[in-house]
Structure 1
Amino acid sequence: MDKRLLDILCCPVSKSPVSLLSRPQLDAVNAAIRSGDVRTVAGAAVGTPLAAGLVTTDGKVIYRVDDDIPVMLADEAIGTTQLSSFPA
């Protein structure tokens, strides 16, 4: 992802800056998705593992990145409190 774009993106709800998910974070969320345990903020089941994602600096919200395009929609975000082993 372009560094300039990443520098200006923020969570649309909290206005908190975001950063790319680390490999351990991405692996943890994808393991939970594969086990069927992940829902969006709106309550929809997440069925497809993430190729990439953005996480707020407080580590509470994940936004998926599809084809290098960040999907910064609040209803499609994933709250990390539902992930039992999400690395900080």
Structure 2
Amino acid sequence: MDKRLLDILCCPLTKAPLRALSEAELTALNQTITAGDVQTHAGARVTQAFAAGLITRDGRTIYRVEDEIPVMLADESIATTQLADFPRA
């Protein structure tokens, strides 16, 4: 993802800055999605693994990236509190 774009993006819920998910974070997220234990902020079950994602710098909220385009919809965000094995910074 273009660093200039990443520098201007922020969480629509908290206005916190974002960074790209690390490989360890992406792996942990996708394992939990595969287990069927992930829901969006709106309560919908997440069934498709992420190829890439963004996370708030405080590590609380994840947004998916599809075809290098960030999906910055609050209802589709994922709270990391529901991810038991998620790496904490």
TM-score bracket, normalised by the shorter chain, equals over 0.9
Give the Å deviation of 1:11: 0.2
Tell me how far apart the structure 1 counterparts of residues 77 and 42 of structure 2 sit (CA, whole Å).
8
SS of structure 2 residue aligned to 1:14: coil
- Partner residue of 2:9? 9
Give the match's secondary structure for 2:41.
Answer: coil
Contiguous gaps of at least 5 residues in structure 2: none
Aligned counterparts, 1:66-77, within 5 A? 66-77=66-77
Q: State the Cα RMSD in Å.
A: 0.4
1:39 corresponds in structure 2 to 39
Letter in 1 for 2:14: S
Identity of aligned residues (%): 62
Spell out, residue by residue over 1:11-64, the C-alpha distance to the aligned partner (whole angstroms, 9 max, x if none).
Answer: 011000000000000000000000100000000000000000000011000000
In the aligned structure 2, how far is the partner of 1:57 from the partner of 1:19?
Answer: 6
- Per the normalisation by structure 1, the TM-score is 0.99
2:63 counterpart SS class: strand
Q: SS at 2:84's partner residue? A: coil
Q: TM-score, normalised by structure 2?
A: 0.98
Q: How far apart in 2 are the matches of 1:26 and 1:5?
A: 20
Q: 1:46 aligns to what SS in structure 2?
A: coil
Name the CA distance, whole Å, in 1 between partners of 2:79 and 2:69: 20
Q: Separation in 2 of the partners of 1:13 and 1:83?
A: 19
For the pair 1:55 / 2:55, whether they are aligned, the reply is yes
Counterpart CA distance in 2 for 1:86 and 1:57 is 14
